[in-house]
Amino acid sequence: MIDLKQIEIGHKSPLLTIDNIQLLKGKMYALIGANGSGKTTFLQSIIGINKPLKGEVIISGEPILKLNRIQKAKTISFVGSKFDGVDYLKTKDFIALGRTPYTNAIGRLSVADLKVVNETIELLQLQVLQDKFTTELSDGERQLSAIARAITQQTDIIILDEPTAFLDYANRKKVMELMKKISIELNKCVIVSSHDLELCLESEIDLLVVSKKRKELTFHRANSLTKSELIEIGF
Amino acid sequence: MNSKKKNNIVFLFLVIILPIIALFHLFSGEIAIPFSDFYSAFTDFDSENTNQIIVKEFRFPRLMMGIIAGGGLSVTGLLMQTLFNNPLAGPDVLGISSGSSLFVAFTLMSGIPFFNSDFGTIISALIGAFAFGLLILAFSMVVKSHISLLLIGIMLGSFTGAFVSIVQTISNPEDLKMFIMWAMGSLQHVESSQLPIIIAFFIIGIISCFFVVKSLNALVLGENQAFMLGVQVKYIRIILIAITAVLTGLITAFCGPIAFVGLAVPNLVKLLFKTQSHRILLIGCLLIGSIFLLVCDIFVQLLESSIHIPINALTSIIGAPFVILIVLKRLA
């Protein structure tokens, strides 16, 4: 899905290098590293808003920078660490905004679009929330609806930038398990950046670790590292 | 479904009430005019009949200006609120209207004949609005706080206000009187011969809005998320500023500054329709904005015999407390 070969990422001066990593569909990856190690810049390179200093990010055989904005919106969706809600925006309408790359010029939802939205709401069991305003939801509920919005975008790749940073333990666990389930059942490539080492280890997912000292991004299979080994590599 | 039905009922109500208010607006005014003269003013105009001249040259342009200014300013307010993700944004608070005023003042003073024509006035108002729109857009890239951006807008307003005062002190008494009358804001400055060009610019501005509805809907999630949804954010920002410049410039050039309509009406519309669907919000702003300004102007006309209230003062008297209410509601 995502091919990263001989890549150097950074702003002017390199922050990190990637030797050879392939990220696959049906898999979930945790991106771990210290603050300032280049995690965000790495995610920006995958999204295509930061051009690598060397090499190219290849998605399904195409360099990401060659995709136009609609192709890109149909390939990668993004969930931020916090969605504050918008006045008078209903949860269902918010989730339906994921259909934006597919709708016509005035953004009217087709029957097929509505079907995707309803199926996603059912999948995440958000029926009771759909008619509430996004400002009325709890932080956890808002994050779940943001994930639902990303799913309706029907992209092969979903990127979540510290999605659990503002959640309590139960919700953090719920988000990670949900994303793992989504990656397997909907066959998506999910990348989650996180500071929560325990949570990432508990979730039994593959790890992408940025070593600040060696300025290198390395891949580690699930359950192959202990917490102390992880700290040794990353921090 | 339920909210959709409710919204349709509200729309139906507004669509019925607008012509009634428009009719009432036509008939209000110091001179009582019989209905037959209204009818013949449009069907079989008699240039000798004073009543018919009043209808054709004064009442009708004033009515059209009320609809255009009310609807247009409300729409620009909505665009700015969505673009800057700020419910208290509007062309006047962001300094876009003052940019327009400043350019009109300068170009009128310049003595270049082109700028004394209707087209020239519109163009200079439009350029002023566009320039200040781009300026506030540039500030918005650096300043992330909503309140700071509004403060910068208000400072831009004070800055241009100072220049306008200087222009006032050096202009002759006749021009000064004209300028003060203009600055009070009025729907009566327009002549019937100017209407076609005004209506043309207005329609272009409004139709353009409906082409960016999809981007506006995505922009409520913020520029980054809109970008990830495939919106050409950089390009849309400029388009929104351009539409705002056309509408604000047009209205400011012919009616003078009219405060608070652009700020208050979109908030009222959102409160009423409880949606972020910009197709609904745009139509709501057009209808409620027109109705609001016409009602204000009916009051101006009814009181005209005893006291002359500038429309700008009236919209501020109603608009300012409403905006304070919005702020208080958001804090709660």
The rounded distance, in Å, linking the Cα atoms of B292 and B315 is 9
End residue of a domain, out of A154, A182, A214: A154
The rounded distance, in Å, linking the Cα atoms of A50 and A44 is 5
- The predicted structure's pLDDT at residue B111: 64
Q: Taking residues B177-188, what's their average pLDDT? A: 73
Residues of chain A in contact with residue B220, where contact means CB-CB under 8 angstroms, are 86, 89
Residues A21 and A133 placed together within one structural domain of the fold: no
Which whole-number Å values give the CA distances from A93 to A88, A141, A148, A153, B147, in the listed order?
Answer: 10, 15, 11, 13, 28
Find the CB nearest A107 among B214, B225, B270.
B214
Residues A140 and A167 placed together within one structural domain of the fold: no
At the fourth CATH level, which superfamily is domain B2-331?
A: ABC transporter involved in vitamin B12 uptake, BtuC (1.10.3470.10)
Residues of chain A in contact with residue B229, where contact means CB-CB under 8 angstroms, are 73, 97-98, 100-101, 153
Number of structural domains chain A divides into: 2
- Entry field: residues in chain A: 235
Residue located via tokens 């699930």:
A222
A189 within 8 A of A16, measured Cβ to Cβ: no
Specify burial of residue B52 (Cβ count, 10 A radius: 0-12, 13-18, 19+): buried
- The residue among B293, B316, B314 whose CA lies nearest residue B67 is B293
Residues A53 and A29 placed together within one structural domain of the fold: yes
End residue of a domain, out of A137, A154, A171: A154
Complex ipTM above 0.85?
Answer: yes
Residues A10 and A112 placed together within one structural domain of the fold: no
Binary contact (B276, A103; C-beta < 8 A) = no
Binary contact (A86, B87; C-beta < 8 A) = no
Host H or E run for residue A128: none
Domain that holds residue A197: 1-75+157-235
pLDDT band at B110 (very low <50, low <70, confident <90, very high): low
Residue A188, chain B, CB below 8 Å: the answer is no
Strand, coil or helix: A102: coil
A 10 A CB-CB count for A169 gives 10
At B39-91, the pLDDT tens digits run 887 787 888 888 888 888 889 999 999 999 999 999 999 999 999 998 889 99
- The residue among A18, A12, A20, A5 whose CA lies nearest residue A53 is A12
B181 has pLDDT over 80: no
Rounded mean pLDDT for each run of 10 residues along chain A, 235 residues in total:
90 88 93 86 90 91 91 94 91 96 90 95 94 93 95 96 90 92 94 90 90 85 84 81
Residues 97-116 of A with CB under 8 A from B: 97-98, 100-101, 103, 105-107
CA distance A46 to chain B (A): 12
- The predicted structure's pLDDT at residue B179: 67
A 10 A CB-CB count for B178 gives 14
B1 has pLDDT over 70: no
Q: Strand ranges (DSSP E) for A54-205?
A: 57-59, 62-63, 76-79, 157-161, 189-193
B328 φ/ψ angles, rounded to the nearest 5 degrees: -65, -40
Cα torsion angle, B54, B55, B56, B57, sign: positive
A204 within 8 A of A43, measured Cβ to Cβ: no
Residues A185 and A198 placed together within one structural domain of the fold: yes
User: Which chain A residue shows the shortest CA-CA distance from B212?
Assistant: A106
Query: B175: left (phi > 0), else alpha (psi -120 to 50), else beta?
Result: alpha
A 10 A CB-CB count for A26 gives 13
- The residue among B330, B92, B78, B117 whose CA lies nearest residue B220 is B78
At B6-49, the pLDDT tens digits run 899 999 999 999 999 999 998 887 777 887 887 887 787 888 88
- The predicted structure's pLDDT at residue B259: 85
In DSSP notation, B194-259 reads GHHHHHHHHHHHHHHHHHTHHHHHHHTT-HHHHHHTT--HHHHHHHHHHHHHHHHHHHHHHH----
End residue of a domain, out of A104, A138, A154: A154
Which whole-number Å values give the CA distances from B122 to B114, B127, B179, in the listed order?
Answer: 11, 9, 16
Residues A142 and A51 placed together within one structural domain of the fold: no
